[in-house]
Chains A and B, each alone.
Chain A
Amino acid sequence: MKKYKIHILSIIGAFALLTSCGNNNGQNSSNGALNASAAEKMYVAPGEQDEFYAFMSGGYSGNLTVYGLPSGRMFKEIPVFSQFPTSGYGYSEETKPMLNTSHGFVPWDDSHHPDISQTNGELDGRWIFINGNNTPRIARISLSTFETEEIIEVPNSAGNHSSSFITENTEYVVAGTRFSVPIPQRDMPISDYKGNFKGSLSFISVDPEHGHMDIKFQLMLPGFNYDLSHPGRGKSHGWFFFTTYNTEEAHTLQEVNASQNDKDFIAAVNWKKIEEYVNNGGGTKMPANYAHNVYDESTHTATTTMKKEVVTVDPLKVPGAVYFLPTPKSPHGCDVDPSGEYIIGNGKLSADLTVHSFDNMIAAIEAEKFDGEAYGIPILKFEDVLAGTVKSGGLGPLHTEFDGKGNAYTTFFISSEVVKWKLGSWEVLDRKPSYYSVGHLMIPGGNSRKPFGKYVVALNKITKDRYLPVGPEMEHSAQLYDISGEKMELIYDFPTHGEPHYAAGIPAEILAPKAKKIYRLDENKHPYAINNPSEARVTRDGNEVHIYMSTIRSHFTPDNIEGIKVGDKVYFHITNHEQDFDVPHGFAMIGQNTSELLIMPGQTKTSVWEPKQVGVWPFYCTDFCSALHQEMQGYVRVSPASSNIELSWSLGD
């Protein structure tokens, strides 16, 4: 094996020599992706597998995409907040409830910040959470089935952006509002915003066994914008930190009016203290209306429960629960280093980074060194909590991640670069351009006590000339840097789907061994599942017809159905009797006002069809399943509404 590597290296070396003589269009060698050694670093040979999974949020696609690192190959798009015809998610009868909200069925959202569950501050790979930004929701996705299992709506929230971040034992997934709103919602003049609107920070408990989410409490803070957040860890475990902007409480032309104050705040929330307060009966039960959608893996079916109450907490009633840390220039990202000591405020309109010290903060609180208050919440003195400032020379810092070796990496949106700097000395160690206008960045485990500091992915907002042009709209670019050495090296550049805001990465060895391959037929508890083809049947109840159907390579049982009438509502309940990895069957019916279904081995899914025309109408399998896939089809005879033809069904006779 080693011998091979030497051969490959020498070949690549020779290639590098050759190409370095040629014209490389004026791009210098710091564009590491052009180097043959960079090619070797990201190359994953056919049949080999990647070292890391990367989960990229889909932004306005509403979904979550799964990539491999370092190859940049995309493996899957997991539907979360959006209908997804590829699998039938949000179209099948079983998954429609996943998209229910207090506003009715909302088939889309804007997904932003995935975060993987943790135990003792380290990634445990059970679930990944992600926020829906527009109609505030938090989703939980299983990391064994890679399917969305639960979505909870967040009431009293708007622009659910400082979400969804996980405490270090997954006690809570936290969701903060970006936009403040009247709470409860009511008819009032917009111009009365100041002092009347509120910002809610929701702490959603996660059941340690099943992962089920429940809003434990909502903290009602002043009407600022709560932009991003991160949990404390290690010694700061029990605290949560939120950046704010628009402390001006402007309600119009925020572009100007929310940028007046020289400093905004990082809100430090002692959630352990509030949890104790709520456990002792504190807080106010407030009427609310929000959807809780849970998908049951054994019935393959989601159900919606409308919840009618939420516990709210007034911060002034829990002394010592919330403090404001002044932070310059409308801070965006709020990041906590692996030790839990440093809280980084990325002042997006600044050139510098502000780093607060947790120890300093505690000392200042204990000494009661306050610099006034905002709506009764104590403000600490900037100088008292400051640990240091990173003078980067870049412009527009947004987000910071950590490599676990004492270094931090910060993206600069305006100057399009990633800057590496040292925690403690605040010196800048390296900087590399990104292409272009980088937003978040991701180091696998970068939001935990134990980062895997081998690669950083920069998630860029603007693509322009990086790829072949495909009209005005381009997929966003991501750049992969090797950070194992002293200097960062750009080794690859690949397109991503939708708009990945944040991402989360995890070593493949944690997830791959427990990835589910099939659903076991003997564990299928779907009420319309059939266990074997002899149970296949068609039943009628008024104009509602239920077809109990099964599939296996390569036929449907039954495949000839008669006695359906115009005006019927026909439910195809299809159970895939395959028990082999990666053998789904599809189902599509001509003229159906919904999407196809893709049914995994051992799974049952239901599709509705309301035939409007008399005739004999075919259905077929949409997934090329075998050499006889083209034969996998059937017919439904549709008779006039007045017809007396009895229901009948058959296969092969």
Chain B
Amino acid sequence: MRTIGKFAFLFTVGILISCGGKEEKKEERIQIGQKPKVESIKVEEPTSDEVPASKRITLDNKGVGEIKNLELPATIDNAMVERGAALFKTNCTACHKIGKRFIGPSPSGIMERRSPEWIMNMILDPQLMVAEDRCAKDLLVEFNGAAMANQNMTKEQARDILEYFRTLK
């Protein structure tokens, strides 16, 4: 029973991937001898008029994972922010830089684009998100196939990081 479920799931994912794949199209020629700069890498425009995943606003999407519903209190908890900033520095800055696109997107302004649940699910189980969440999957494609690492954060740690993100505009 479980096996059948898994097959069905894989099959579905397969269909999803093959459909999603059509969106990417490199129109640039291979360029040789240029000075590359991480900042200046041109984001591929999807063929559709869809907004790139990194710029999309998906506040209604809670993502897939164990965080189903999260109400944020009105005020920001500074102790959490402090812990979250330290965790972010150790576990995330290899790929995410404040105010700057790097291996992955910048977390600046993320609270205006993504729901708190989506952010926490992405931190807690990026593999599941990439498999089942449309936005996470599109981000993976947009960011060159650089899969987000699971840094084994606890729910409390992910929540601290989220609180830190609330301070980033």
Contacts and interface: CB of A to CB of B under 8 A. Distances in A.
Interface in A298-312: none
Nearest to B151: A579
Interface core residue of A553, A557, A581 (most chain B CB under 10 Å): A553
B93 A521 contact: no
A contact face: mostly helix, strand, loop, or mixed: loop
A261 interface: no
Interface in B35-54: 37-38
Contacts of A533: 93-94
Interface stretch (B61-69, B74-82, B141-149, B160-168): B141-149
Nearest to B144: A628
A522 B150 contact: no
Interface residues of A, number: 24
B89 A579 contact: no
B147 A579 contact: no
B16 interface: no
Interface size class for chain B?
Answer: 10 to 19
A627 interface: yes
List the 5 closest A-B pairs by CB distance, nearest first.
A552-B94, A579-B152, A580-B150, A579-B151, A652-B38
Interface string A523-566: 00000000111100000000000000010111101000000000
A627 B152 contact: no
A534 B91 CA distance: 12
B102 A652 contact: yes
9 contacts: A518-B152, A532-B90, A552-B149, A577-B91, A579-B91, A580-B151, A581-B152, A626-B146, A626-B147
Interface core residue of A521, A555, A577, A626 (most chain B CB under 10 Å): A577
A255 interface: no
Given A552-B95, A652-B102, A578 B149 contact: yes
B57 interface: no
Nearest to B153: A579
A36 to B, nearest CB: 23
B103 interface: yes
A54 interface: no
A628 B146 contact: yes
Contacts of B151: 578-580
A557 B147 CA distance: 18
Contacts of B89: 531-532, 534
Interface string B28-40: 0000000001100
Interface string B87-103: 00111011100000011
Interface string B118-156: 000000000000000000000000001111011111000
A581 B25 CA distance: 34
Nearest to B87: A522
Given A652-B102, A653-B37, A653-B38, A554 B90 contact: no
Contacts of A522: 90
Given A577-B90, A581-B152, A626-B146, 6 more contacts: A521-B91, A532-B90, A533-B93, A580-B149, A580-B150, A628-B144
Nearest to A602: B152
A258 interface: no
Contacts of B145: 627-628
A229 to B, nearest CB: 44
Nearest to A555: B103
B142 to A, nearest CB: 14
B144 A557 contact: no
A583 B91 CA distance: 14
Contacts of B153: 579
Contact of B149 (A532, A579, A652): A579
